[in-house]
Amino acid sequence: MTPQQRDIVRYWHVLELFSTQKVDPPDPRNQQRPVVAWRDGGPLPWEVLPPPRSRGKTPLVWQHTVYLNVYAVGGLFEHLHRVFPRDEDAYEERPGGLSACAAFVVDQNGHYIANSAVLSSALWGIGRTISPGVNHPGWFDGFEIADQHLRNEIDVHLADSVNGPEDDEPPLKAADIRKIRALAVRAAGIDGLAPLHTNDVTIASRQISEDRAQELPGFDFLNSFHLNDLRSIAAAPTWGRALNAYLTLDQEVQVADRVDVRAHPEVVVSGTTVWNLPLGRWPANPEHPLSTSQQFAVNQAQTMDECGVSLLGVNGPPGTGKTTMLRDILAGNVTRRAFRLAQLDHPDHAFDGLDHQWKAGDYTRRVRQLRPEFTGFEMIVASSNNSAVANVSDELPLRESIFPAWDEIDYFADLATEIGRRGGRPEGDGVRPGRRWGLIAARLGNAANRSKFESAFWFGRTTPRRSQDADAGAAAVAGMQDLLKGWEADPRSRPNWSEARNAFNDARRALEEVLSDRHQAARRLARAQELQTEQRRADVDASTAATSVRIARRHVDDAAARLATAGQMAAAARARHERHLLLKPGWWEGVTSWGRATKDWRQRLVPLTHALDEAEREQIAAANRLSHLHGEANRWQARHDAARAALTRLSSEWAGLDAALSHDYQRYGSTYPSPRWLADERQRELHGAWLDPEVNTARSNLFHAALNLHVAFLANAKGARQALHGALDVMTGRAPTDLRSAARLAAWQFLFMVVPLVSTTFASVPSMLRGLQAGAIGWLLIDEAGQASPQDAVGAIWRAKHVIAVGDPMQLTPVVTVPPKAQHDLARQFTLSETWIPAYSSVQHLADRVGKHGTTLSLGQRSLWVSAPLRVHRRCDSPMFDICNQIAYEGLMVNGVSGRNGDDRDDVPASQWYDVPARQPGTHLQVDEITCLRERLDHLLAANIRPDQIIAISPFRAIANQLSRLDDDYPGITAGTVHTAQGREADVVFLVLGGDPRKPGAKRWASAAPNLVNVAVSRAKRRLYVIGDHKSWTQRPFFDTTAAYLDGTRP
């Protein structure tokens, strides 16, 4: 890591200082969790609340959280705007709700629970903006000191108030509340700062089991969950490769190495060959393979180590199968670990001989250390959105998530069903009731979820469920503890290790045989492509050689003619030369002419000799040229003959290959990557290469065998029960606080041998994974990464070896309460670019930017690189698909919706825009639009469209508040802000626009980027109805495109 990377984390730490947790508004009538606004002189809850009624055998007591100096969060926002002036023309929704300057916890007797006090980092930060001021270096440092100092001062005050023995400690009185409130205000530095300095006190009471009376809530109930993590990581001596990649500086992003998958589809094809196919596959319908882009992303994930990649971004537009992709990554990891287990003669050989031990009361926990090759497969799915991660971990174990052909899979199915029953979300929150097929995933995260999981997982269900339950009379379900005890007591009842190994190896060999056929077919297809290339080359060679032979022969004829002419000229020159030699003067003639005759003869001989020499040279040159041209003609003839022979050979080979290719095409159908398949974008994207039903079935069978092998491993591994008991201690937070990191990691690694994937929110990562170091967890799968602020994922990424961020920057952006101008100014203090400012970034963006394979989209005025995009959309009919594909994805998506006609019902109006002019200034709420909405809802109900098939949303909170009341008249409808609909879908979506006609800034805000429209439109599977002022809204970007696809009408 570099100093600048550390500054990025420190900057995010400063932003999190101003992140607040909300205080519930007063609700004194709630008998289970009353919340009261306490006033001086009034009774305190621990003085007047009657003892709670116990539930069953569990005695209950009250625990009270006292919130001091309760203030409106909007006031904090306003102060930051004064410190960091904003653009007055910009529109920004103001945060609502209440928070507090400090809080602490009181037990049922009114006694302060030691170390429970918490100071608000946000108000402390506000105090620091005043003194020493934001221009002072390090003004943001020191919160931890102030926080601890407040606790110390409370301890001193309470110690002074005790006059007798410690056992006689009096309950807190009104004077104590006032004193601690004053201490908190002073610690925050906001004394007299209106409107943030208040005297308001809220006390929230809850019922807890008596044995937990002194336990603190498992979270920081005032401040950011990430605050301490960011501070620790900024100072950590080592970072993993994943976090270093995530924080790649702008100038170090390898832009030149990027490959656009739309411009170069052959790169995706080469990444999804049969040789790259992961051997394990989720047991889904074998007739429904992954799309090519999904399989490409899965393959990229499985080869991260080989490619030296630790961070992979996957762009997942709505309806493109993000969960489908993630579950194949899960199946691949489980199967890869099974390959290694199958090499063992006995499960005990998976351990390296080291035992981690610690005391748990009177008991000793022992966790055996797995050898390194069996670790690194741990999978955590995390998100800022609790519903997103719950969707993954709750849905994967459902019977409905696997194809009926694999109904016999039983990976602790009864136990998984019990865990789902106890830990699942209530019906009506999107969860589908039903039995589970396996303990493949678990919802962890916060302390309550972990406790529910532990109870169900370890103890099962000892008594039948109550008669009013759906499965009344169901038998008791053995927990994991009893299962393991049973196997220990009766070794013959254990799944046989050798049989499980053999079954896995048989499934492996069956898959290898199936793949061998595809390998041969792929080689034939590759050879066919080579043959075509070679034929084209041979054709060119033959044509070129034939032409060259003709030209060479003409040159030979010309050269022969020149040689004949040169020969004639040489013969003539030779004759002249010889005649002249015969005329040489004799001796006497030379004497009598005083040598003159000889001299004249010699003078005439010189040119004749030169002429003869030149003629003979010309003759030799002509002869040499003729010889060379004869050779050239022969060489071209030989090349022509070779090319013709090659064509004959290639034609013969092609004749033999053609029948096999035709057979392969018929056998593998739409998954056969022929040239026609490659040229047809839709065909290529819809049908992944070589993912035919036979190979899909064999891969899913191998995954099934891998799960059975894991069961046999657990049943036969010595000390498995003790190891899981220790793992549950670590998971729930009961392990000693000083337990070594290596022991904690070994415990988690063993738990992941049983439960391959767990889910959590980012907020729960610090508490759940307490004590784990950089790169400890094998895999972090981030869901809805486009909605997560960049800083949210730092702690999770720091703890992971491999990170896959799945999301869409074209959906909802992260919600950040700190004003954008303040974010800019704080970033400027650290000399950071916009890349790191949450208002303009997300976890997805930071992951995508370092991805090699992707494409470029436009986000407002910016170009945005998105990594490994999933391209096949299978949710929305037209025109919703067309609107989203145009405004947000620039034609990237391919429509995979089939077998459904969006206009198949005459009694349900087509998607359209209901034009309701805005006539009410001063508010975003336009009452006429709500009237129109109710009329349209009544019409749909008359057409037997149920409310739970309908979503009604708006960009503005004032309208969303009205929409939320629709549930009274239309039970089951989903209604609220656009954020309410994120992650959901419905047959019908109403987008109620509203908008103050005198505040155009609100419409500019809503249309600054395609995200808001894209989210709203992409929720609708069958119909989209927009209600709003057509004239004013269609002058804005993205809304104009939406209107172009919709019929406009007056209601």
| pLDDT recorded at residue 176 | 95
- CA–centroid distance for 920 within its chain: 43
| pLDDT recorded at residue 428 | 41
Where helices occur in 830-877 by DSSP H, the ranges are 843-848
Residue in the block written with tokens 């050798």:
498
Q: What is the pLDDT of residues 786-840, one digit of tens each?
A: 999 999 999 999 999 999 999 999 998 888 878 788 888 889 889 999 999 999 9
- DSSP-derived 3-state class of residue 463: coil
Whole-angstrom distance, CA of residue 242 vs CA of residue 248: 10
- How many CB atoms sit inside 10 A of residue 992's CB? 27
Work out whether the CA dihedral 799, 803, 809, 811 comes out positive or negative.
Answer: negative
| pLDDT recorded at residue 131 | 92
More confident residue, 813 or 163: 813
Helix (H) or strand (E) holding 797: helix 794-798
Q: Which two tokens stand for residue 306?
A: 């080989």
Whole-angstrom distance, CA of residue 326 vs CA of residue 282: 10
Contact criterion met (CB below 8 Å) for 65 and 104: yes
| pLDDT recorded at residue 780 | 98
| pLDDT recorded at residue 904 | 67
* Pick from 760, 812, 726, 791: nearest CA to 1017: 812
| pLDDT recorded at residue 906 | 78
Burial class (CB in 10 A: 0-12, 13-18, 19+), 335: buried
Please report which confidence band the pLDDT of residue 467 belongs to, taking 50, 70 and 90 as the band edges: very low
Whole-angstrom distance, CA of residue 521 vs CA of residue 690: 10
Q: Is the pLDDT of residue 333 over 80?
A: yes
Name the DSSP letter for residue 964.
G
* Widest Cα–Cα separation across the chain: 168
Q: What is the pLDDT of residues 579-628, one digit of tens each?
A: 888 888 888 877 787 878 888 888 888 898 898 888 888 889 889 988 99
| pLDDT recorded at residue 430 | 45
Q: What is the pLDDT of residues 672-717, one digit of tens each?
A: 999 999 999 999 999 999 999 999 999 999 999 999 999 999 999 9
Those residues with Cβ within 8 angstroms of residue 951's Cβ, 6 or more apart along the chain or in another chain = 973, 974, 975, 980, 981, 984, 986, 988, 989, 990, 1019, 1020
Q: What is the mean pLDDT of residues 1045-1051?
A: 76
Q: What is the pLDDT of residues 16-72, one digit of tens each?
A: 999 888 899 999 989 889 999 999 889 999 999 999 887 777 789 999 999 999 999
Q: What is the pLDDT of residues 641-650, one digit of tens each?
A: 999 999 999 9
Whole-angstrom distance, CA of residue 557 vs CA of residue 563: 10
Q: What is the mean pLDDT of residues 318-327?
A: 94
Residue in the block written with tokens 């993590």:
229
Q: How far apart are the first and last CA of the chain?
A: 60
Domain limits, the chain: 20-223, 515-669, 879-1047
Give the predicted TM-score (pTM) of the model.
0.89
| Residue type for position 517 | D
Q: Is the pLDDT of residue 981 over 90?
A: no
* Pick from 392, 388, 454: nearest CA to 418: 454
Whole-angstrom distance, CA of residue 452 vs CA of residue 379: 20
Whole-angstrom distance, CA of residue 266 vs CA of residue 1003: 42
Radius of gyration of the chain (CA): 40
| Residue type for position 272 | T
| pLDDT recorded at residue 426 | 44
| pLDDT recorded at residue 93 | 57
Where helices occur in 342-402 by DSSP H, the ranges are 386-395
Q: Is the pLDDT of residue 78 over 80?
A: yes
Name the DSSP letter for residue 132.
I
Write the class of the CATH domain 515-669.
mainly alpha
| pLDDT recorded at residue 1 | 81
What is the percent of the chain with per-residue pLDDT over 70, rounded to a whole number? 94
Q: What is the pLDDT of residues 350-370, one digit of tens each?
A: 999 899 999 988 889 999 999
Please report which confidence band the pLDDT of residue 900 belongs to, taking 50, 70 and 90 as the band edges: low
- The yes-or-no answer to whether 515-669 and 879-1047 have a common fold is no
For 58-83, letters b (16+ CB in 10 Å) and e give eebbbbbbbbbbbbbbebbbebbbeb
Contact criterion met (CB below 8 Å) for 368 and 407: no
Please report which confidence band the pLDDT of residue 220 belongs to, taking 50, 70 and 90 as the band edges: low
Which residue spans within 928-985 are E strands per DSSP?
A: 950-954, 974-977
- DSSP-derived 3-state class of residue 428: coil
C-alpha distances in Å from residue 701, one per residue of 273, 436, 476, 708: 21, 18, 30, 11
Whole-angstrom distance, CA of residue 623 vs CA of residue 791: 85
Please write down the HEC assignment for all residues of 56-83: CCECEEEEEEEEEEEEEHHHHHHHHHHH
Q: Which two tokens stand for residue 77?
A: 């926002």
* Pick from 711, 710, 707, 739: nearest CA to 726: 739
Whole-angstrom distance, CA of residue 740 vs CA of residue 888: 49
- CA–centroid distance for 282 within its chain: 18
Residue in the block written with tokens 């069961």:
711
Residue 622 phi/psi, 5-degree rounding, is: -65, -40
Please report which confidence band the pLDDT of residue 764 belongs to, taking 50, 70 and 90 as the band edges: very high
Q: What is the pLDDT of residues 233-244, one digit of tens each?
A: 999 999 999 999
Contact criterion met (CB below 8 Å) for 146 and 125: no
| pLDDT recorded at residue 167 | 53
Whole-angstrom distance, CA of residue 388 vs CA of residue 382: 8
List the single range of 335-349, 510-524, 576-590 with lowest mean pLDDT: 576-590
Instruction: Share the mean pLDDT of the chain.
Output: 91
What is the percent of the chain with per-residue pLDDT over 90, rounded to a whole number? 74
Please report which confidence band the pLDDT of residue 94 belongs to, taking 50, 70 and 90 as the band edges: low
Q: Which range has the top average pLDDT, 134-143, 419-428, 604-613, 834-843?
A: 834-843
C-alpha distances in Å from residue 896, one per residue of 264, 567, 677: 21, 81, 16
For 442-481, letters b (16+ CB in 10 Å) and e give bbbbbbebbbbbbbbbbebbeeebeeeeeeeeeeebbbbb
Please report which confidence band the pLDDT of residue 77 belongs to, taking 50, 70 and 90 as the band edges: confident
Q: How many residues does the chain have?
A: 1051
Whole-angstrom distance, CA of residue 15 vs CA of residue 955: 26
Helix (H) or strand (E) holding 313: strand 311-315
Q: Which two tokens stand for residue 706?
A: 């891998």
C-alpha distances in Å from residue 489, one per residue of 486, 657, 719: 5, 62, 13
Q: What is the pLDDT of residues 288-300, one digit of tens each?
A: 999 999 999 999 9
Those residues with Cβ within 8 angstroms of residue 634's Cβ, 6 or more apart along the chain or in another chain = none
Write the class of the CATH domain 879-1047.
alpha beta
| pLDDT recorded at residue 470 | 46
Q: Which two tokens stand for residue 23?
A: 């205080």
Contact criterion met (CB below 8 Å) for 61 and 108: yes
